Amino acid sequence: MNHEANDGRRAVIVGAGFGGLALAIRLQAAGMQVTVLEKRERIGGRAYQLKDRGYTFDMGPSLITAPGIIDAVFQAAGRRLVDYVDLVPLDPFYRIHFHDGTHIDYVSDAERMKEQMARFNPGDAARYDDFMAAIEPIYGAVIEDRLGSKPFDSWGKMLGFLPRVAKLGAWRPVHNFVARYFEDFRHRFVYSFHPLFVGGNPFSAPSVYLMIPMLEKLGGVWFSRGGMYSVVEAMGRVFEEIGGEIRTDHEVERIEVTDGRATAVRAAGTTFPADVVVSNADVGHTYGALVEPEKRRHWTDRRIDRTHYTMSCFLLYVGTRRTWPEVAHHTLILSERYRELVRDIFDRKVLPDDFSMYVHAPTRTDPDMAPEGCESMYVLIPVANKRADIDWDSVKEPLAERVLEFLEEWGMEGLRDALEVLHIFTPDDFETELNATFGNAFAVEPRLTQTAYLRPQNRSEDVDGLYLVGAGTHPGAGVPGVILSAEATYSCIAEDEGLEAQWEPATPGDVRMEPTRGPGYDAAMAELPASAGTPELVPE
């Protein structure tokens, strides 16, 4: 239902991923009337859902590392995350299997980690506390001091940030930073792989991304019953409860720009006038396909092409008539090569003969994700994006067969005989389904030259009244990063539109039990017509 907001200001958001939905809630709660336009049949963007013959698959993000950051969005609308989703803490966070048959259960408990590490290298275990002490200030800068949720929209802010980066050593590549503390290859991997989860190369991504292990340690790793898509649905529900409008099957054709300002969005043959336009679409697609070339002096076609985009992923969504209880909820299975395999993916852009993989088995925690006695899994293999010369139409079936065969040999005996559902998702699908430039999986690559002010800005450099949100802008990919980007973008819009200043977010692990209301919430609710009713503060 579409209602007039208290000041008549209209915002149109392109794309209903986590970033678009988080910003839509914040803007609607602050008094704007917000419409979200989504290309696909359902909301979610990269956090989509696939259902087939009783099997349920999250197609993108599979875990929550900072529930308090998500809860802050719900708090802005006078809601609580815990009233909408059932969060389950995971232990271990990940089980990491190495090529030599050893494994490590990655957990937050320091003593458990040191006990496991001591089996391979006692000196590494002794240096664990020093490593955590070294990365804690990085976490403090990004999360506690809110640098991850503040726009870096000037060189002045960037220059103010650089001395802190230098002091913390956060400019060093992640793997180099980790290698200063740990000698064993297992421990170097355990604490350096996290950039891969946001599309980064651990051997070149700056150590500012080492805030992720601390984020996990302090905030935990969680699963939402019903899958991550239950969080997407909850955000969509909250947005509509407070008067927002979502239109699916509305692929955006153009962002209309008049006299240098975004004035409307054209989608599905309809023009949606707007005072504010926000794109949650892929950055390359936003500028390259939605804004006419003559309207952009900064984001030229050449600049779009020269931007470094993340690697892509080869994904199998697998439903089987039996289970493998020995497979953890989150399982990493690694080949012997690490540095060279990463180089094949990011630099050489070839499809290697070996592969490392991430297996998500949510039925370990939520059996309802599959029919009784069955297993629902997805298998993710990092691969080069479409700058590589790989014909995915011809290689996807043989590669899928190789992966299934590998998993059987690794320990999932009888996998192919038990197979009931198999869906394959390749870089081609990232490009066609998600409008991802070069089929990237995580938007703009997190590298030193594409960090903070050097990433695409939350406030467009080319078009007044146009803003970006999501993985391609500051601070970057991953669910916490995307949710924080909505806060940064809100700050830009609030400054430009005279909205109230941003509220303080919850800490990453803190899911508050008592609801609060964001700025403008009461005024916005007062403008809803009586026939609509006022949404309950705490839903049943």
pLDDT digits (tens, 9 = 90+) for 359-381: 999 999 999 999 999 999 999 99
Euclidean distance between CA atoms 167 and 181, whole angstroms: 18
- Is 523's pLDDT higher than 50? no
The model's confidence at residue 218, banded by pLDDT at 50, 70 and 90, is: confident
Q: How far apart are CA 17 and CA 132, in angstroms?
A: 32
Least confident interval from 442-446, 478-482, 506-510: 506-510
Mean pLDDT of the chain: 89
Q: What is the pLDDT of residue 36?
A: 98
Gap between the Cα atoms of 512 and 87, Å rounded: 13
pLDDT band of 518, cuts 50, 70, 90? very low
Q: 10 Å Cβ neighbour count for 302?
A: 8
- Tell me which of 48-52, 206-210, 303-307, 343-347 is least confident: 206-210
Mean pLDDT, range 377-404, rounded to an integer: 97
Whether the per-residue pLDDT at 55 is higher than 70: the answer is yes
Q: Are 82 and 54 in contact (CB under 8 A)?
A: no
Give yes or no for a contact between 378 and 318, defined as CB atoms under 8 angstroms apart: yes
Give yes or no for a contact between 532 and 2, defined as CB atoms under 8 angstroms apart.
no
What domains are defined for the chain?
10-45+226-307+447-532 (3.50.50.60), 109-219 (no CATH), 311-437 (no CATH)
Q: What is the 3-state secondary structure (H, E, C) of 378-429?
A: EEEEEECCCCCCCCHHHHHHHHHHHHHHHHHHHCCCCHHHHEEEEEEECHHH
> Is residue 480 within 8 Å of residue 508, measured between CB atoms?
yes
Q: What is the per-residue pLDDT for 454?
A: 77
At residue 436, φ and ψ (nearest 5 deg) are -85, 120
Lowest mean pLDDT of 26-40, 99-113, 201-215, name the range. 201-215
pLDDT band at 263; cut points 50, 70, 90: very high
pLDDT of residue 45: 96
| pLDDT in the model for residue 215 | 87
pLDDT of residue 530: 34
Instruction: Quote the pLDDT of residue 158.
Output: 52
Q: How far apart are CA 113 and CA 131, in angstroms?
A: 13
Model pLDDT, residue 154:
54
Higher pLDDT, 2 or 14: 14
- At 483, is the secondary structure helix, strand, or coil? helix
Predicted local confidence at residue 534, as pLDDT: 30
Average pLDDT on 492-496 reads: 94
Separation CA 447–CA 432 (nearest Å): 26
| pLDDT category of residue 508 using cuts at 50, 70 and 90 | low
Q: pLDDT > 90: what percent of the chain?
A: 77
On the question of pLDDT at 401 being above 80, the answer is yes
- What's the average model confidence in pLDDT over 247-276? 97
Res 280 pLDDT > 60: yes
pLDDT higher than 60, residue 528: no
Q: Which of 88, 164, 215 is nearest to 481 (CA)?
A: 215
For residue 449, the model assigns a pLDDT of 81
Confidence of residue 532 (pLDDT cuts 50, 70, 90): very low
Work out the percent of the chain whose per-residue pLDDT is above 70: 86
Residue 6 is predicted with a pLDDT of: 43
- Tell me the torsion sign for CA atoms 14, 20, 25, 27: negative
The pLDDT tens digits for 125-159 are: 999 999 999 998 887 777 665 655 566 565 555 55
Q: Rounded mean pLDDT of 501-505?
A: 55
| Residue pair 22/486 in contact by the 8 Å Cβ criterion | yes
The residue type of 174 is V
* 203 touches 339 (CB < 8 A): yes
∠ CA 253-25-154, rounded to 5°: 75
Task: Quote the CA–CA distance of 285 and 296 in Å, as a whole number.
Answer: 13
The per-residue pLDDT for 348 is 95
Helix (H, G, I), strand (E, B) or coil at 373: coil
Mapping DSSP to helix (H, G, I), strand (E, B) and coil, where does residue 97 land?
strand
pLDDT at 513: 42
Read off the amino acid at residue 533: G
Separation of alpha carbons 204 and 210, rounded Å: 13
Q: Which residues are paired to 58 by β-bridges?
A: 49
How far apart CA 406 and CA 216 sit, in angstroms, is: 30
Q: Which candidate, 385, 379, 382, 392, places its Cα nearest to that of 310? A: 385
Q: Which of the four pLDDT bands, split at 50, 70 and 90, describes residue 474?
A: confident
